[in-house]
Amino acid sequence: MRSVNTYIGRPIERVEDLRFLRGRGQYIGDIKREGQWHAAIVRSPAAFGRVVKIDAATALKMRGVHAVITAADIAKPVPTIPFRRKNPTIAPYAQPIIAAGYVRYVGEPVAIVLADSAELAEDAAQDVAIEIDALPPCVNWQASMAGTNLLFPGTTTNIASTFTAQCGDAAAAFAAAPYTRRERFSIQRHTALPMETRGLLAEWHAGDNRLTVHGAAKLPFFNRRAMAGMMDLPETSVDYIELDVGGGFGARGEFYPEDFLVAFAARKFGHPVKWIEDRREHFTAIGHARQMDADVEIACETDGTVVAMRGTMYVDIGAYVRPNGMTPVRNVIQFTAAPYRIPNLDFTGHGVLTNKTPAGTYRGPGRFEGCLFCERMIDIAARELGIDHLDVRRRNLLTAGDMPYTLVGIAPEDGFGDTECDSGDYRVTLERCLEEFGWDEKKALAGTLRDGRYHGIGIGCFIEGGASGPRESARMEITADGAADVYVGSSAIGQGIETIMAQIAADALEIPMAQVRVLHGSTNYLKEGFGSYGSRATVMGGSAIVLAAETVLKAFRETAARTFAVALGDISVSGGLAHARDGRSMTLAQAAALGPLTGEGTFSSDKRTYTYGTAAAHVAVDPKTGAVNVLDYIVVDDVGRAINPLTLHGQVVGAAVQGFGSVFSENLVYDADGQLLVGSLADYLIPVATDYPHIRAITLEQFPAPHNPLGAKGAGEGGIIPVGAAVANAIASALSAFNVQPTDLPLTPPRLWELIEKARTAQAQPRT
């Protein structure tokens, strides 16, 4: 590495932009193949029932329709989608890749129609008649947990898995504490909603028994393994190819039923098969997220020292356990108390099955939720103890002296690995945030009515896990013209990976960035790779690139030493040149001309990174309507080291605005029959340009990550984690005169108006 970096740390404009801005990006919808067929998925109209009959006769008679595939056409037993983490109880609840016998949610794939065009396939899909013997659905976790209406015959419970997180002796701490407080919380079902819907194009190459699947994202290597297993093919006979990806946020790129169905059709009929999800089916098909209720209790000393927390989380995971369906459940109990030094914890998390679209992850899974619960409890406790909530935070936040700090472990152990807060002083971002926000000046506004609106300010402290292990790989090849082709296992999800990886490679090789070409995300580039999830791409993939570059430079020195017939110690390398002591030198291109100049690097780490931060919100609440305006919002985080401040800032601000959607408007509403009432972007309200103009983000590099050569911490998710906490606390501050304590999301105007009215009515009642 250069002693002074040329690219790392600078706000380099993105390489990707040059094609995106001209409309030359290539997304899955943009590619086509000669002779391709189009697929449409026939989905269950019922939330729960037995499939009696599927009649495709009419559809098959339609012009341009080639085939209709149902479970009957697929090997018995129908394959199920593998899990990403081990778990002793979830096996019976894996999702079959097509409904076999039962349908368990509206939108579950029942058949796949293949036709000459997408229009014809969609027309025909409407004419596939499905007869379902309907069963009463479980549409919420309460009904499901009663256990009287089992979703899976042969099982004894609708709880797919229960995790516990315990340390110290919470029961004793609660018994001894002078102050305890219990509160219930609820978060609505919502979803990541990338702007590009999912899509796939699968090709079967009969000549050499190979399957190619275009449309990969997030974890192509895991999906390849899953696909190979289901298709009974060697892993090396399956390639997952990544194109440009229109947003991920945790939901895109998991192995979904359509991955198998589209590939199966391509193999069965020998035609390339293309499928592009439409927006309506997206709502019923892509992983849902976040829906949970929590019953949380806090125990404090009278000075605000938090001695214990405990509680139970009920997570509505939908009809099946998808590959990462348990992640929010295990995360919420492990990370709820995370930024604080709380010696006694006792949390239980239930992943409860219901007849809804299965859940997966969405940016900051379990952490957005846990942060809301914890930060609200801190504010409520401080208010009732009559002390400043900032002092409560200062007293309990982890400090540099606490590092490394091991977070509470969970049972059953699920292979998540080590959870050790690596570095930092969590008070640093709190103090900086208060200063940038102007907390002391704004304090006077809190709870006051101005121009008909109540003003309030609130805080949310958080940590964000990153750099998920176990490893990532990179390979570098110096081409004949002295440029570097860099292959990395990390994948693109719209985050600017080509630019960031090129910055790292260019600094590691000491060559201009324009000479670096980054190739990523496809399984045919490397023997092994992992991908982009858990805020890992920059740290894991970037560190692998650093290691690969070291190997390349070593080979470069060796080539130069051989060529000049001098000792290896007589060669130094800098700026893309190998210098001998006698003044002779050689370029990378010259060395590459003498023989292959390549290097591989694998960065292995079971140590996560923990970015930490604080957000502050200033809101104004209209008591007549319950509408909230966000007047100021700032988030300060410490990422150890920012590779590209421009893209990093974009991640944090963009995530924050997503979080406002979670807090105020996004809601996947189901009715009592298990029908999803959201069918379009007119029903599902994500933030628009007029909603949240006042967002600021400041990134610190105070405590570098100790366990990777870049010193960087994963930072793609932190922006969303504290939004619910900071905003709900600010609303409570605004409405402190009424002691309104928001606990349930989304905080829509009607809900808030109702809270205000109830509080007013209660205050108007004469005390008895």
Partner 1 sequence: MKLRFQVNGQAVETDVAPRTTLCDCLRDHLNLTGTHAGCEHGVCGACTVIVDGVAVRSCLMLAVQAAGASVVTVEGLADGDELSPLQEAFRRHHALQCGFCTPGMLTTLHALLSDEPAADEERIRDVLSGNLCRCTGYIPIVEAALEAREHYAKKQELKAG
Applying CB under 8 A, does 181 fall inside the site for partner 1?
Answer: no
Q: Which of 161, 423, 658, 733 touches partner 1 (CB under 8 A)?
A: 658
Applying CB under 8 A, does 424 fall inside the site for partner 1?
Answer: no
Applying CB under 8 A, does 764 fall inside the site for partner 1?
Answer: no
Smallest distance, partner 1 to C-beta of residue 682, A: 5
Locate all alpha helices (DSSP H) within 153-253, ordered by sequence.
170-176, 220-231
C-beta of 243 vs 317, nearer to partner 1 = 243
Q: Binders of partner 1: how many residues, by CB under 8 A?
A: 57
Applying CB under 8 A, does 34 fall inside the site for partner 1?
Answer: no
Q: Token digits for 317?
A: 């995971």
Applying CB under 8 A, does 197 fall inside the site for partner 1?
Answer: yes
Applying CB under 8 A, does 668 fall inside the site for partner 1?
Answer: no
Applying CB under 8 A, does 689 fall inside the site for partner 1?
Answer: yes
C-beta of 194 vs 304, nearer to partner 1 = 194
Applying CB under 8 A, does 122 fall inside the site for partner 1?
Answer: no
Q: Which of 692, 710, 734, 755 touches partner 1 (CB under 8 A)?
A: 692
Residue at 219: amino acid letter: L
Smallest distance, partner 1 to C-beta of residue 734, A: 23
Cα 650 to Cα 247: distance, rounded to the nearest angstrom? 13
Applying CB under 8 A, does 436 fall inside the site for partner 1?
Answer: no
Smallest distance, partner 1 to C-beta of residue 131, A: 29
C-beta of 244 vs 622, nearer to partner 1 = 244
Q: Which of 5, 9, 27, 698 touches partner 1 (CB under 8 A)?
A: 27
Q: Which of 73, 169, 183, 244 touches partner 1 (CB under 8 A)?
A: 244
C-beta of 19 vs 50, nearer to partner 1 = 19
C-beta of 167 vs 686, nearer to partner 1 = 686
β-pair type (102-103, 179-187): unpaired
Q: Which residues contact 693 (CB under 8 A, 6 or more apart)?
A: none
The stretch near partner 1 (CB under 8 A) out of 176-184, 202-210, 653-661, 668-676 is 653-661
C-beta of 445 vs 681, nearer to partner 1 = 681
Q: What is the DSSP string of 587-606?
A: EHHHHHHTS--EEEEEEE--
Q: Which of 148, 680, 761, 768 touches partner 1 (CB under 8 A)?
A: 680
Applying CB under 8 A, does 360 fall inside the site for partner 1?
Answer: no
Smallest distance, partner 1 to C-beta of residue 657, A: 3
Nearest C-alpha neighbor of 292 from the set 210, 350, 357, 219 = 350
C-beta of 519 vs 653, nearer to partner 1 = 653
Applying CB under 8 A, does 686 fall inside the site for partner 1?
Answer: yes
Applying CB under 8 A, does 693 fall inside the site for partner 1?
Answer: yes
Q: Which residues contact 753 (CB under 8 A, 6 or more apart)?
A: 623, 624, 625, 626
Applying CB under 8 A, does 760 fall inside the site for partner 1?
Answer: no
Cα 106 to Cα 124: distance, rounded to the nearest angstrom? 19
C-beta of 30 vs 303, nearer to partner 1 = 30
* Sequence-ordered strand ranges (E) for 584-700: 585-587, 598-604, 609-621, 628-638, 695-700
- Contact between 430 and 614 (Cβ < 8 Å): yes
Q: Token digits for 251?
A: 């939901």
Applying CB under 8 A, does 590 fall inside the site for partner 1?
Answer: no
Applying CB under 8 A, does 656 fall inside the site for partner 1?
Answer: yes
Q: Site residues for partner 1, window 99-118 (CB under 8 A)? A: none
Q: Count CA atoms closer than 13 A to 251's CA, side-chain side.
A: 25
Nearest C-alpha neighbor of 275 from the set 107, 120, 118 = 118
Nearest C-alpha neighbor of 486 from the set 530, 542, 539 = 542
Smallest distance, partner 1 to C-beta of residue 700, A: 19
Smallest distance, partner 1 to C-beta of residue 531, A: 16
Smallest distance, partner 1 to C-beta of residue 17, A: 4
C-alpha distances (whole Å) from 694 to each of 616, 656, 733 are 12, 11, 19
Applying CB under 8 A, does 195 fall inside the site for partner 1?
Answer: yes
- Contact between 344 and 169 (Cβ < 8 Å): yes
C-beta of 425 vs 498, nearer to partner 1 = 498
Q: Token digits for 650?
A: 């974009």
C-beta of 272 vs 601, nearer to partner 1 = 272
C-alpha distances (whole Å) from 646 to each of 43, 495, 527, 598, 660 are 42, 11, 32, 31, 22
Applying CB under 8 A, does 321 fall inside the site for partner 1?
Answer: no
Applying CB under 8 A, does 753 fall inside the site for partner 1?
Answer: no
- Contact between 754 and 626 (Cβ < 8 Å): yes
Q: Site residues for partner 1, window 610-649 (CB under 8 A)? A: 646-647, 649
C-beta of 247 vs 343, nearer to partner 1 = 247
Applying CB under 8 A, does 245 fall inside the site for partner 1?
Answer: yes
Applying CB under 8 A, does 698 fall inside the site for partner 1?
Answer: no
Q: What is the DSSP string of 260-329?
A: HHHHHHHHHHSS-EEEE--HHHHHHHSPEE--EEEEEEEEE-TTS-EEEEEEEEEEEEESSB-TTTTHHH
Preceding peptide of 412 cis, ω within 30°: yes
Q: Site residues for partner 1, window 248-307 (CB under 8 A)? A: 248-249, 278-279
Applying CB under 8 A, does 92 fall inside the site for partner 1?
Answer: no
Helix (H) or strand (E) holding 557: helix 542-564
Q: Which of 172, 449, 688, 762 touches partner 1 (CB under 8 A)?
A: 688
Q: How many residues would you count in the chain?
A: 768
C-beta of 245 vs 560, nearer to partner 1 = 245
Q: Token digits for 760?
A: 């007013």
Nearest C-alpha neighbor of 300 from the set 376, 396, 375 = 396
Smallest distance, partner 1 to C-beta of residue 118, A: 9
Cα 590 to Cα 584: distance, rounded to the nearest angstrom? 13
Applying CB under 8 A, does 727 fall inside the site for partner 1?
Answer: no
The stretch near partner 1 (CB under 8 A) out of 65-73, 192-200, 501-509, 583-591 is 192-200
- Contact between 49 and 72 (Cβ < 8 Å): no
Applying CB under 8 A, does 493 fall inside the site for partner 1?
Answer: yes
Q: Which of 20, 50, 101, 234 touches partner 1 (CB under 8 A)?
A: 20
Q: Which of 16, 239, 254, 316 touches partner 1 (CB under 8 A)?
A: 16
659, 660, 662, 665 alpha-carbon torsion, rounded to 10°: -160
Applying CB under 8 A, does 514 fall inside the site for partner 1?
Answer: no
- Contact between 545 and 602 (Cβ < 8 Å): no
Applying CB under 8 A, does 228 fall inside the site for partner 1?
Answer: no
Residue found under tokens 């190997």 = 551
Applying CB under 8 A, does 119 fall inside the site for partner 1?
Answer: yes
Smallest distance, partner 1 to C-beta of residue 25, A: 5
Q: Which residues contact 170 (CB under 8 A, 6 or more apart)?
A: 299, 308, 309, 310, 344, 345, 346
Cα 647 to Cα 657: distance, rounded to the nearest angstrom? 15
Binding site for partner 1 (CB under 8 A): 13-14, 16-27, 29-30, 119, 193-197, 244-249, 278-279, 493-496, 646-647, 649-651, 653-658, 680-682, 686-693, 695
